[in-house]
Amino acid sequence: MIQSKFPELLHGGDYNPEQWMKQKDTIWRQDMEYARKAGINTLSIGIFSWSFLEPEDGVYDFAWMDEVMDNLAANEIKAVLATPSGARPPWLAEKYPSVLRMTNERMRRVYGGRHNSCLSSPDYRRKVTEINTRLAQRYANHPALAIWHISNEYNNDCHCPLCQARFQEWLRARYGTIDQLNDCWWNSFWSHRYTSFEQVESPTSPSWLGENESPAAQLAWKRFCTDNLVDFFNMEIAPLRQATPDIPVTANMMGTFTGLDYYKLGRAMDISSWDNYPQWTGDERDVAVSEQSAFKHDLMRGVSDQKPFLLMESSPSAVNWFSCNRIRTPGTLMYQSMQAIAHGSDSVQYFQFRAGRGGSEQYHGAVINHTGSANTRVFREVTDVGAALKQIAPVAGSVTRNQVALLYDWNDRWALDIAWFLHRGNQKYEETVLDHHAALSMQGIGIDMIDQDSEIDAYRVVVAPMAYLIRDGFSEKIEKFVQNGGRLVLTYASGYVNEESLTFQEPNPCLLHSIAGIRVDEIDALDDRRTNHFIWNGKRYEVKEVAELSTLDGAKQLAGYEEQFYAEKPMLTVHPYGDGCCYYIAARTDADFLCDLYDKVLAEAGISLLATEMTDGVKVTARYDGDNQYVFLMNSSHAKGTATVTKPMRDLQTGELIDGMCTVQPMSIRVLVSAN
Ligand code: GAL
């Protein structure tokens, strides 16, 4: 894996000069002039350029791209050069129909749209390899080439016969025999025992069409789609690795997108990158918007094991695909951009550099709008971001050193989404992990997102909400962590099924119950008219939506339910185990309880806080580089905020010395530095 460290923070975005081919003498020249003016040092090109690069099968035209690459180099702009597989030219679909995806209704798509090629099609694989090879060979030694951008927002699945065959091959490799598959999928249910792998098909929609109710089959399909995609990704990068072994590769991801296990994709690339489109409101709701964005930044750093990542896309103004597309209120762009850096990004990149005149994204925010003028509010704000990134340039390449990890595992998410129980179709896995993230970050710490495969020894606290599916090896790892003094927080709906989504034959939380010191007897789904309560440390809290009824088995009860037949059963427990301990939260609560609990858990664990006494909407993170510590104080509230830093620091942009309380203007971020 290539360790990429840039001497500066990257600033740029998606650049589509091919849309202006007929006006290149004026527009391309102006693009470079404006890029320099806005402090742009990076542009992503070629993402949707296939029909210009290969106008006919086997006929290539790189002359225009040579010119673009030369322009970038002449202006000291790094090229984030894309492979064009995100969208294909019409001739390709016409000549090789297998590239067109089939829907889960088994309907072949017609040409159109993007991100919809069949990743199993040998024709598509061959054509992608051919064009990637040519791109790699042509630009291997070009001074502008800095990063490979693989495809665009890889997503969704194809159900064609080629994909079915690969799925069956994948099943054979995973299960070995069809009997083993039948056992793992519990196919004695409804007489579904297969006698050959060829009988197994991908899940269908609508439900009456075929198989779409088996949790194990659905889970297998999700896993296959990720593996098939990672295989395609590896195929895409093979010629790039060969021609340009030192150029890092990335693929832009989409936060909590459910179609792919991003840890698997993230670990296959050199730098992770993602596209962040928060729906800022310009009022107090921005505190919640900011928290969602913080959570996803941490997740997108986590999928590549906490290395610095890239913010590959963000809108400099409104997007065009929400139902209500607000423009950014003044200052929001700066906040959005600095927040990415605060969470570990080494870049701020936009979609898009220049708005096209047509197409569905003609009204999407852009650095340069239709007037072609630099005299716009958006352009000035982008220029301000460029200047700010220069001021905080030493942050580039610095890393996080968080002591608290929060589990977000796509296998848990999938298995819960698929499961037929509780609030079917609305288990709120993502919302729950987000709630824990918010409560933890209100304590004045940064958070690492992990999955069940991540190394956890270096953390002091691990929080695993709704860890429903326990993958092989996870419980042993967790047990060792707690034995060695770690603090674990578990919640309801944990340890229900094994890797294959089969229930265990012992009480929940299975494989974790000796650590938790409780046995779950029942789990209840509460509708919105039914709640319960509990008192902990003299304060009364509400229970809602999901609640477990358990029996103590070694743990100490810290709080019991108040009402109905739940009364006095454990709601919050703690179980000392080895040198550490495990807290168990038996039911879903509001944020007030999680905040109070984490206040106590982090204090007990001796977690060093980055800041204290933070007013509403103020959050903090830190990045480290050798002896330097960079602390980011972020205020997403529209009122002035304050926080107290725990040691003297200097504002990296203004030079002001901060000792103790620090003011943060509404919707803004301060970057402080101290020698560690
Ligand atoms: C992204 C995509 C871009 C552009 C953008 C608009 O999801 O990668 O190509 O469509 O959305 O917000």
CATH 3.40.50.880 is right for the domain spanning 404-605: yes
pLDDT over threshold 70, residue 353: yes
If pLDDT is split at 50, 70 and 90, which confidence band does 508 have?
very high
Number of C-alpha atoms within 13 angstroms, CB side, residue 350?
A: 33
Q: Which of 16, 114, 152, 257 to mutate for ligand 1's pocket (most ligand atoms within 8 Å of CB)?
A: 152
- Is the CB of 435 inside a 6 Å radius of any atom of ligand 1? no
Q: Which atom of ligand 1 is nearest to the CA of 315?
A: 12
User: Residue 79's closest CA among 299, 353, 377?
Assistant: 353
pLDDT digits (tens, 9 = 90+) for 551-602: 999 999 999 999 999 999 999 999 999 999 999 999 999 999 999 999 999 9
- pLDDT band of residue 193 (cuts 50, 70, 90) is very high
* CB of 153 closer than 6 angstroms to any ligand 1 atom: yes
Percent helix, percent strand, percent coil in the chain, to nearest 5: 35, 25, 45
* Catalytic residue list contains 431: no
Unique residue bearing structure tokens 């505190």? 287
Residue among 313, 500, 545, 548 flagged as catalytic: 313
Q: How far is CA 426 from CA 14, 217, 220, 400, 413, in A?
A: 35, 20, 21, 33, 11
What's the 151 CA to ligand 1 centre distance in angstroms? Answer: 12
Residue ranges of the chain assigned to CATH 3.40.50.880: 404-605
Q: How far is CA 202 from the centre of its chain?
A: 26
Output the average pLDDT for the chain.
97
Q: Is the pLDDT of residue 447 over 90?
A: yes
- Residue 653's φ and ψ, nearest 5 degrees, are -95, -35
Note the pLDDT tens digit of each residue in 36-84.
Answer: 999 999 999 999 999 999 999 999 999 999 999 999 999 999 999 999 9
Report which of 246, 245, 249, 193 is spatially closest to residue 217, judged by C-alpha positions.
193
Res. 285 pLDDT band, cuts 50 70 90:
very high
Where is 413: in which H helix or E strand? helix 410-418
Ligand 1 midpoint to CA 171 (Å)? 34
| Average pLDDT score over residue span 249-266 | 98
DSSP class of 630: E
Residue 236 Cβ inside 6 Å of ligand 1? The answer reads no
Answer whether 152's CB lies under 8 Å from 48's CB. yes
Could you give the C-alpha distances from 231 to 120, 265, 302, 336, 591, in angstroms and in order?
10, 10, 21, 33, 41
Residues 6+ apart with CB under 8 A from 431: none
Q: Is 503 helix (H, G, I), strand (E, B) or coil?
A: strand
The pLDDT tens digits for 402-419 are: 999 999 999 999 999 999
| Active-site entry in 8, 54, 153, 291 | 153
Closest by alpha carbon to 629, among 402, 427, 365, 475?
Answer: 402
Q: What is the mean pLDDT of residues 286-300?
A: 98
How many percent of the chain have pLDDT more than 70?
A: 99
Identify whether the C-beta of residue 93 lies closer than 8 Å to the C-beta of residue 111: yes
Measured CA distances, 31 to 63, 148, 149, 240, 275 (Å)? 18, 22, 21, 28, 23
Q: Is the CB of 351 under 6 A from ligand 1?
A: yes
How is domain 10-86+115-153+249-393 classified at the CATH fold level? TIM Barrel (3.20.20)
Cβ proximity of 306 and 298 under 8 Å? no
Q: What is the pLDDT of residues 153-191, one digit of tens each?
A: 999 899 999 999 999 999 999 999 999 999 999 999 999
Whether 561 is in the pocket of ligand 1, judged by its Cβ within 6 Å, is no
CB 424 within 8 A of CB 417: no
Give the Å distances, CA to CA, from 83 to 80, 88, 97, 127, 420: 10, 11, 21, 11, 40
CA distance 406 to 386: 32
Distance CA 409, CA 415 (A): 10
Task: Determine the pLDDT at residue 141.
Answer: 97
6 pLDDT band (50/70/90 cuts)? confident
Please list the alpha-helical segments (H only) found in 452-574: 474-483, 513-516
Q: What is the 3-state secondary structure (H, E, C) of 198-249?
A: HHCCCCCCCHHHCCCCCHHHHHHHHHHHHHHHHHHHHHHHHHHHHHCCCCCE
Q: Residue 676: its pLDDT value, please?
A: 57
Q: Is the CB of 64 under 6 A from ligand 1?
A: no
Quote the pLDDT of residue 133. 98
Cα separations in angstroms, 667 against 284, 333, 337, 434: 10, 10, 12, 21
- Testing ligand 1's pocket by substitution, the residue of 153, 273, 312 carrying the most ligand atoms inside 8 A of its CB is 153
Spatial distance between the Cα atoms of 659 and 18, rounded to a whole number of angstroms = 52
Q: Is the CB of 588 under 6 A from ligand 1?
A: no
pLDDT of residue 619: 98
Q: What is the location of CATH 2.60.40.1180 in the chain?
A: 611-674
* Mutate which of 275, 317, 363, 367 for ligand 1 pocket (most atoms within 8 A of beta carbon): 275
SS3 370: coil
Check if the beta carbon of residue 462 is closer than 8 Å to that of residue 451. Answer: no
Looking at the chain, the domain(s) classified CATH 3.20.20.80 span 10-86+115-153+249-393
pLDDT category of residue 205 using cuts at 50, 70 and 90: confident
Torsion sign, CA atoms 512, 516, 519, 521: negative
Write down the CATH number for the domain with range 611-674. 2.60.40.1180
**Is residue 316 scored above 70 in pLDDT?**
yes
Residue 351 alpha carbon to ligand 1 centre in Å: 7
Percent above pLDDT 90 for the chain: 98
- Residue 332 — φ and ψ, nearest 5°? -70, -35
**Residue 153 is among the residues annotated as catalytic for this protein:** yes
Q: Is the pLDDT of residue 5 over 80?
A: no
Mean pLDDT of 618-647: 97
pLDDT beyond 90 at 675: no
Of the pLDDT bands very low, low, confident and very high (cuts 50, 70, 90), residue 208 is confident
CA of 277 to the centre of ligand 1 (A): 9
- State the DSSP code for 177: S
pLDDT of residue 612: 97
Which residues touch 538 (CB under 8 Å, ≥6 apart)? Answer: none
The stretch 525-541 carries a mean pLDDT of 97
